[in-house]
Amino acid sequence: MSKIKVGVLGATGAVGQRFAQLLTDHPYFDLTVLAASERSAGKTYREATNWILTQPMPDHLATMTVQEMALDLDCDLVFSALPTNSAREWETQYAAAGYGVFSNAGAHRMDSDVPLLIPEVNPEHLDLLPTQQAAQGFKRGFIVTNPNCTSIPMTMALAPLHSQFGVEAVIATSMQAVSGAGYPGVPSLDIIDNILPFVAESEEVKMGQEPNKMLGFSNGQEVEMAGIRISAHCNRVPVSDGHLVTVSVSFKNKPSLGDILEAWQTWEPLPQQLNLPFAPQPPLVIRAENNRPQPRLDRDAGRGMATTVGRLRPCDVMDVRFVALAHNTVRGAAGGSVLNAELMYAQGQLDVFRQKTAASV
Amino acid sequence: MSKIKVGVLGATGAVGQRFAQLLTDHPYFDLTVLAASERSAGKTYREATNWILTQPMPDHLATMTVQEMALDLDCDLVFSALPTNSAREWETQYAAAGYGVFSNAGAHRMDSDVPLLIPEVNPEHLDLLPTQQAAQGFKRGFIVTNPNCTSIPMTMALAPLHSQFGVEAVIATSMQAVSGAGYPGVPSLDIIDNILPFVAESEEVKMGQEPNKMLGFSNGQEVEMAGIRISAHCNRVPVSDGHLVTVSVSFKNKPSLGDILEAWQTWEPLPQQLNLPFAPQPPLVIRAENNRPQPRLDRDAGRGMATTVGRLRPCDVMDVRFVALAHNTVRGAAGGSVLNAELMYAQGQLDVFRQKTAASV
Amino acid sequence: MSKIKVGVLGATGAVGQRFAQLLTDHPYFDLTVLAASERSAGKTYREATNWILTQPMPDHLATMTVQEMALDLDCDLVFSALPTNSAREWETQYAAAGYGVFSNAGAHRMDSDVPLLIPEVNPEHLDLLPTQQAAQGFKRGFIVTNPNCTSIPMTMALAPLHSQFGVEAVIATSMQAVSGAGYPGVPSLDIIDNILPFVAESEEVKMGQEPNKMLGFSNGQEVEMAGIRISAHCNRVPVSDGHLVTVSVSFKNKPSLGDILEAWQTWEPLPQQLNLPFAPQPPLVIRAENNRPQPRLDRDAGRGMATTVGRLRPCDVMDVRFVALAHNTVRGAAGGSVLNAELMYAQGQLDVFRQKTAASV
Amino acid sequence: MSKIKVGVLGATGAVGQRFAQLLTDHPYFDLTVLAASERSAGKTYREATNWILTQPMPDHLATMTVQEMALDLDCDLVFSALPTNSAREWETQYAAAGYGVFSNAGAHRMDSDVPLLIPEVNPEHLDLLPTQQAAQGFKRGFIVTNPNCTSIPMTMALAPLHSQFGVEAVIATSMQAVSGAGYPGVPSLDIIDNILPFVAESEEVKMGQEPNKMLGFSNGQEVEMAGIRISAHCNRVPVSDGHLVTVSVSFKNKPSLGDILEAWQTWEPLPQQLNLPFAPQPPLVIRAENNRPQPRLDRDAGRGMATTVGRLRPCDVMDVRFVALAHNTVRGAAGGSVLNAELMYAQGQLDVFRQKTAASV
């Protein structure tokens, strides 16, 4: 079967680099376009990029020429690593021009007709796309978003519990890696021998809203929010990669600790059933040790796509508490977006692009 | 007025060093004894100690000879930096032998007739001492303890709120400095580029119990616990000094944010009224910036004795939330214990020792 | 005696903040002006500044109004924390306008008629000033510079040795704190769990040139360089403050280790003889332990103005080797510049400004 | 061809874990024995081990039973991760009992008849083994050692230069990762926001001796030392893995920078020619950027077995200088030892063990 041509928007930044890395040699997608601002256009990717990932830049990326952002890119899908403020307009324009847009930006996440997607959690929210296309006048194009990096580990851990026991409220404290702030991001003077008890004005707001949308019910027109009260304390810590979250939860139907463990252990969501390339097996790694998960030891579980949970125990105020961790720039950004695209590909929802590609050959 | 002679038990360890440093040139106390295990006895303090504090060892400490733990030390008060398991017996023996014991150890904190004291919070709990002396057969001796380092910032912030609004429940997540584990303590491989979501089995238990005792009511015989439900998630972070705690609270009498701010700002507890040497002015430093308190910038407030609070805002699950920080080895250990002694001194409760000292001159 | 009015140029940046802090309540100088770019002008210092020092901003600084850079400032001396490229012109203009300029910038350091000054090392180089004033047409104004932060600890340690034994060559490796790069400076992603074996193109050049000027001979017209071959490897390390340098040295007249120790111990240079306010006593702290100096434990020696040396031992390739450390933003920047001004004040070289001040009152 | 059965001595410690990890699924060797002290014996490897590596413990290791150190282990080769003091006797006993011993310990490295081996550097030194076996009365057994972790990157970089240009002298400053001290190793309080200018009394001695043995000439009886004067300053830095070394070198036959680059680029030593499983291709990764190598970005080059060099430039005191880096627990310890064994295997020098194995089947 023919691969689909894909491009990365904002390809030279921190998330853009991760997209480029993860899309190299992908079984479904053929990375043909690296697009960025005028400043980088015309340079090779090696020249244009201050490569910050620990794995070296793949050779074939190094020699690709960076293109300026434009609506005639030689690809059918675009993965957007644009900053939120420029993402709002560009992503709509790309969708209007017929591209499938998979966005890591915050701009459209809470739009009523835009799926905010974790494939393990709410794959059925893709049923919003016809509504979106009709409302926005997109013909073939669309916008699908992935959530904020800090919402991921918490939502992954809560998803199999919410469906069975009904999550009522959550109090969470995040300890977030500096890579979540991009590059140059957090000044080193701010973080050596230090903690910042603040990430961004919007961070705690997103933590409150996004899980409610993802755990909500889509009727195909819009999403009915899950109605979970969420309070998040977001902190920046001297860690390179991996967001750690302590979570206290209360439930409608009070589960035992054993019920929760079983719900986690037996969870086999759609991406794992479909055996998607980026789907971690299992989606939740459950650690029994009392000092896990840890960012340095657990962030790469499932090649950075798994969520690791541990320290499940009763909460003296709410019902239970636990700790969750996920890799913030793999699962929490580029990798999550790629998995969104894989889900649509595997369900045939991208066939229109495959046919076009075939025709154009 | 004559000073009282004091000694430090466990003087060569991390907390013992801090005691020795803080008691140097103290206006009330004359540091005459540094006691430690047999291994160190007979050496000068410089020889016996791997000094880990950033300020150099005071000269007059360096040449003092370390003594072996014994019940005939040439002092009237002892400050105990003993590990919990050896503290239980030794502290009782010292009290029985007529010494006033100010302990940083966990051994006796929850004993029904032992004051667990923060002078700003529960100075009246010293009324347990006659009961203790009668029950234990101590004549002049006694045991007074200070709380766990992580309980301090939270309890300091809650104290003026509890008396006015009635704290019902608290969910807290701590980010604790490595110095809290003593020396050598946390291996560097465990904490570089990492967070440990676990401190010790007992840590979260202490966080649940100790504030309830300190915020409880003493009838002179025992303490009626405050009945606050507390759930703590304790974490170790790559910070040298300063424990940071995120706190969500619910109250009986719902205060506004303004009510809380006013309660904090107008709080003037006893040690500040008495102008005790180690009492920070003010006891609570309130930061308005959205990214404070931070360990590196705020731990030394009030020469390490103040608690800094910030980020006061509504909580979407409980009533309000905020962040609190205190220096864990100054206020949270040795400095807290010295302040306990200062309170008793200023209230005349140590006069028996001053008279003895005067007589012996 | 009347104080001299002083201002800080570039007062809102990292070095400017340190100048403002150190000049607060100075016995010789009265800080009357905080000058910065147009963007900050008109704001209070608190509003204009992202204060990054661990000690809180002094209250009287907080309410001062930041002025725009101009040549009619109400002061007689200016301390320049300007970036090198803007320093070149501004500093000359200020000197031409009659101000005494004490500069931390690199712009004029190697100018033939500009003293590059460490008061302990080459106080006699101030004899260049008449030549400078004549050549540049300055009437009362002048420019005096302090060296690069990394040159300081090495030059301080070498100075008493060079005069006795003749330093021929030096190989040094620096491990430099991130505060040396200013703020925001080094991105945290670059330095967590990492070392950067590079600081700036110019850094190793400065390390080669500046000590040669400072240890050279001034004939009042220009400085004859010392002719020491210096090779420096400069590295950035995950440390907040304090530059550590390993040094291997060869000498003309081969001293024993004892000779070197004695030269260090008996060194009593001019600032210490004059008992200048910022002169550390002693200028060199000599540590006998095999694991000192360390940045965290030794950077604050002499209130950040001392240089700490240790690990003196033979070198199997050159003659001897040792380790030196100094606080890079105190002694290595603002504090060094203040000491330069103190030296001139104490020697009466600033009397012209004191008289003017007196007259203007 | 049949694999050879191998065991790990000291299997539960930091280096032992790395051996166990690297020997899992090895094409030449079959890991059949994990031996440790009495305290661990009888437990499963999972129970006995505080696993500190970032990759999870391989499943088949987890269930292996740890055996007590004894001379009747079911294997033919042993990889020794023993501490130096216990290594001296145990390793000799194992060799005497007929085992081939590949040791990471320092005990026997400088013994005249023991090869101190980097397969890329001095594979011919294995000609010492007949002398060793005759002198020690070993029949089939032998001892082969690998060098200190800090000597590796420097020696790898110097080897192709020494053979062509004759290295005369070296001044090196190391910045060593904390994993080099094992576990628990360096206390976190010593290394947060800090550098230790000291590793161990013996570290700088090893840096001076070991390269001279490895770059020396073996006549089959003993090794004539290379006669290079080496001066090393060893430091501990807040990095998890990867030793960085700045190096200044002088040569007999003065090469140009281009000559050196060419010598590095064209170096194709024996392990690479033999295409040994652990031999990195290329052995030296040459980085052109001015800020490389960096521990976090370059330590995993060649799956942790390559040495990365960069910043080649003239030295103002000696001839040239550069920076070198290698992974200290992979190439610098367990991985280096495994490569030693691979070299002997590929050259048929372990056939006696393969035949025995085949016969015993």
Question: What's the pLDDT tens digit per position in C43-85?
Answer: 999 999 999 998 899 999 999 999 999 999 999 999 999 999 9
Residues of chain C with pLDDT > 90, as a percent, come to 96
Which of B173, B192, B310 lies at the smallest CB-CB distance from A173?
A: B173
User: Do C197 and D311 count as a contact with CB atoms less than 8 A apart?
Assistant: yes
Confidence of residue C1 (pLDDT cuts 50, 70, 90): low
Q: What angle do CA A296, A302, A308 make, to 5 degrees?
A: 60
Residues D298 and D157 grouped into a single domain: yes
Stretch A299-315: mean pLDDT: 98
Q: Give the pLDDT of residue D358.
A: 45
Burial readout A338-350 (b: 16 or more C-beta within 10 A, e: otherwise)? bbbbbbbbbeebb
Residues A135 and A233 both lie in one domain:
no
Q: What is the pLDDT of residue D196?
A: 98
Q: Does A321 touch chain B (CB under 8 A)?
A: yes
Q: Which chains pack against D, by 3+ Cβ pairs within 8 A? A: A, B, C
Number of folded domains that form chain C? 2
* Probe site for chain B from C183, C193, C292 (most B CB atoms < 10 A): C193
- What is the predicted pLDDT for the residue at A356? 52
Chain A positions in Cβ-Cβ contact with residue C239 (cut-off 8 Å): 192
CATH code at C287?
3.30.360.10
Whether B77 contacts B357, CB under 8 Å = no
D272-321 pLDDT, tens digit per residue, is: 999 999 999 999 999 999 999 999 999 999 999 999 999 999 999 999 99
Between β-strands A284-286 and C217-218, what pairing exists: parallel, antiparallel or unpaired? unpaired
Closest Cβ–Cβ partner in D52, D183, D193 for B240: D193
DSSP, collapsed to helix, strand or coil, labels residue A129 as: helix
User: Looking at the structure, do residues D84 and D25 belong to the same domain, yes or no?
Assistant: yes
Residue pair B49/B17 in contact (Cβ under 8 Å)? The answer is yes
Residue A113, min C-alpha distance to chain C (Å): 36
Residue A359 has pLDDT above 80, yes or no: no
ipTM: 0.95
* Three-state DSSP string of A87-113: HHHHHHHHHHCCCEEEECCCCCCCCCC
* Pick from B170, B196, B323: CB nearest A197: B323
Domain shared by D172 and D302, yes or no: yes
pLDDT of residue D360: 44
What digits encode the pLDDT tens for the residues A180-222? 999 999 999 999 999 999 999 899 999 999 999 999 999 999 9
- Residue B265, domain extent: 151-327
Name the residue in chain A with its Cα closest to that of B322: A233
Q: How far apart are CA C283 and CA C305, in angstroms?
A: 8
Is the N-terminal amide bond of B293 cis, ω within 30° of 0? yes
User: Radius of gyration (Cα) for chain A, nearest Å?
Assistant: 20
Question: Are A38 and A11 within 8 A, CB to CB?
Answer: no
What secondary structure letter does DSSP report for A187?
A: B
For C147-167, what is each residue's pLDDT tens digit? Answer: 999 999 999 999 999 999 999
Q: Are residues C83 and C62 in the same domain?
A: yes
Residue C293 confidence (pLDDT) above 80 = yes
Pick the residue from chain A with its C-alpha nearest to D54: A297
Q: Tell me if D238 and B52 make a contact (CB, 8 A cut-off).
A: no
> Does the CB of C193 have a partner CB in chain B at under 8 Å?
yes
Interface test with A, best of C53, C183, C188, C328 (most A CBs within 10 A): C188
Query: What percentage of chain A carries pLDDT values higher than 90?
Result: 96
CB–CB contact A300 D192 (8 Å): no
CB contact under 8 Å between D317 and C171, yes or no, is yes
Out of B149, B162, B234, B327, which one is annotated catalytic?
B149
C54 in contact with chain B, both atoms CB, cutoff 8 A: yes
Q: What is the pLDDT of residue D276?
A: 98
Q: Looking at beta carbons, which residues of chain B come within 8 Å of C303?
A: none
User: How many angstroms away from the CA of C184 is the closest CA of chain D?
Assistant: 18
Contact A296 D192 (CB under 8 A): no
Mean pLDDT (whole number) for D98-112: 97
Do D251 and D168 touch, CB atoms closer than 8 A? yes
**B307 and B346, same domain (yes or no):** no
| Residue of chain D nearest C242, judged by CA positions | D194
Structure tokens at B335: 């400095």
How many angstroms separate the CA atoms of D54 and D240, rounded? 11
Report how far residue B14's alpha carbon sits from residue D250's, in angstroms, rounded to the nearest whole number.
47
| Residue B62 at interface with chain C, using a CB cutoff of 8 Å | no
pTM: 0.96
- What is the spatial distance between Cα A325 and Cα D356, in angstroms, rounded to a whole number? 49
Domain shared by D156 and D278, yes or no: yes
Instruction: Going from the first residue of chain B to its last (361 residues), give the mean pLDDT of each consecutive group of 10, the final group possibly shorter.
Output: 92 96 97 96 96 92 97 97 95 98 96 98 98 97 97 97 98 98 96 97 95 98 98 98 98 98 98 98 96 97 98 98 98 97 97 64 37
Amino acid at D237: V
Nearest CA-CA distance, residue C43 and chain B, Å? 18
**Both C316 and C178 in a single domain?**
yes
Residues of D in contact with C238 (CB under 8 A): 193, 237-239
Q: Does B189 touch chain A (CB under 8 A)?
A: no
* C-chain residue closest to D240, CA distance: C193
**Average pLDDT in chain C:** 96
| CB-CB under 8 Å, A231 with B318 | yes
A193 interfacial to chain D (CB closer than 8 Å): yes
Q: Does A274 touch chain C (CB under 8 A)?
A: no
Task: Say whether B189 and D239 touch across the interface (CB within 8 A).
Answer: no
- D113 shares its domain with D178: no
Helix (DSSP H) and strand (DSSP E) numbers for chain D: 12, 14
Burial of B46 (0-12, 13-18, 19+ CB in 10 A): middle
Tell me whether B240 touches chain D (CB under 8 Å): yes
Distance CA D339, CA D341 (A): 5
Q: Does the CB of A59 have a partner CB in chain D at under 8 Å?
A: no
B192 touches chain C (CB under 8 A): yes
**Closest among A144, A124, A103 to A271, alpha carbons compared:** A124
Closest partner CB to C171 (pick from D171, D201, D244): D171
Q: Spell out the alpha helix ranges (H) of chain C.
A: 14-23, 45-48, 59-62, 84-96, 129-136, 151-165, 203-214, 257-265, 270-273, 295-298, 335-346, 351-360
Tokens 């015989």 map to which residue? B221
Contact between C193 and D318 using a beta-carbon 8 Å cutoff: no
| DSSP-based three-state secondary structure for A209 | helix
The answer to whether residue B38 neighbours chain C at the CB level (below 8 Å) is no
- Report CB contact under 8 Å: C188, A238: yes
Average pLDDT of A122-140?
Answer: 97
The CATH number of the domain holding residue A140 is 3.40.50.720
The verdict on B259 touching C (C-beta cutoff 8 Å) is no
D168 touches chain C (CB under 8 A): no
* pLDDT value of residue C281: 97
Confidence at residue A354, expressed as pLDDT on a 0 to 100 scale:
78
Same-domain check for residues C250 and C314: yes
Distance in angstroms (rounded) separating the CA atoms of residues D59 and A41: 48
What is the per-residue pLDDT for C202?
Answer: 93
- For residues A64 and A41, what is the distance between their CA atoms, to the nearest angstrom? 11
The H-assigned helical ranges of A107-247 are 129-136, 151-165, 201-214
Contact, B208 vs B232, CB < 8 A?
A: yes
Segment 120-139 of chain D within 8 Å of chain C by CB? none
Same domain? B93 vs B194: no
Write down the pLDDT at residue C310: 98
Per-residue confidence (pLDDT) for residue A2, from 0 to 100: 83
Active-site positions of A read: 149, 243
The answer to whether residue B300 neighbours chain C at the CB level (below 8 Å) is yes
Q: Give pLDDT tens digits for D28-52.
A: 999 999 999 999 999 999 999 999 9
Residues of A in contact with D193 (CB under 8 A): 192-193
B177: closest chain D residue by CA:
D189
Catalytic residue among C125, C149, C234, C327: C149
Phi-psi category of residue D284: left, alpha or beta, with phi > 0 → left and psi -120 to 50 → alpha: beta
- How many Å lie between the alpha carbon of D278 and the closest alpha carbon of chain B? 25
Select from D54, D57, D194 the residue whose CB has the most chain A CBs within 10 Å, as the one to mutate to test that interface: D54
Q: Is the CB of A315 inside 8 Å of chain B's CB atoms?
A: yes
pLDDT of residue B355: 57
* Radius of gyration, CA atoms only, chain B: 20
Alpha-carbon torsion angle D334, D339, D340, D342, nearest 10: 130
Q: Does D198 touch chain B (CB under 8 A)?
A: no
Answer yes or no: do C297 and B193 touch at CB < 8 A: no
User: Is C358's pLDDT higher than 60?
Assistant: no
3-state secondary structure of A325: strand
Residue B237, strand partner residues: none
Interface test with B, best of D192, D194, D195, D329 (most B CBs within 10 A): D192
Q: How far is CA D100 from CA B86, B144, D126, D271, D352, in A?
A: 49, 63, 13, 20, 10
**DSSP secondary-structure letter at C44?**
B
- Torsion, Cα of A200, A205, A211, A212 (10° steps): -170
Do B185 and B318 sit in the same domain of this protein? yes
| Closest residue to B300, CB basis, from C54, C193, C301 | C54
**8 Å CB contact of B317 and A230:** yes
Q: Which residues of A touch C183 (CB under 8 A)?
A: 187, 189
pLDDT at A358 over 50: no
Give the mean model confidence (pLDDT) for residues A50-76: 95
pLDDT tier, A168 (very low <50, low <70, confident <90, very high otherwise): very high
With vertex at residue A38, the alpha carbon angle to CA A36 and CA A40, rounded to the nearest 5 degrees, is 60
- Confidence (pLDDT) at D354: 78
